[in-house]
Amino acid sequence: MSLMIHEFTVEMTCEGCSGAAKRVLGKLGDKVSNVDINLETKKVIVTSALSSDELLETLKKTGKDVTYLGGKAA
């Protein structure tokens, strides 16, 4: 399975919110190769071989509103 770069909007308002996103994605271990979180733009960019649906479900575990913006080949 090839790596994809997935972009999500997550309703984050503080470092705790971005930390929660990083924590739930971190539990996926080596299934995620990179996570880039921008608190100002509320964007979470994930490089992973997992599907966008799997990543969306994982990010929803933060309890925040999450929207999938799109993906491209890594």
CA angle 8/58/56 to nearest 5° reads 35
Q: Can you tell me which residue has the tokens 């960019």?
A: 45
Domains within the chain, CATH numbers bracketed: 4-73 (3.30.70.100)
DSSP per-residue letters across 26-65: HTTGGGEEEEEEETTTTEEEEEESS-HHHHHHHHHTTSS-
Helix 15-26 vs helix 52-60: angle between axes, to the nearest 10 degrees?
130
pTM, full prediction: 0.94
Per-residue pLDDT 10s for the chain (74 aa) are 689 999 999 999 999 999 999 999 999 999 999 999 999 999 999 999 999 999 999 999 999 999 999 999 98
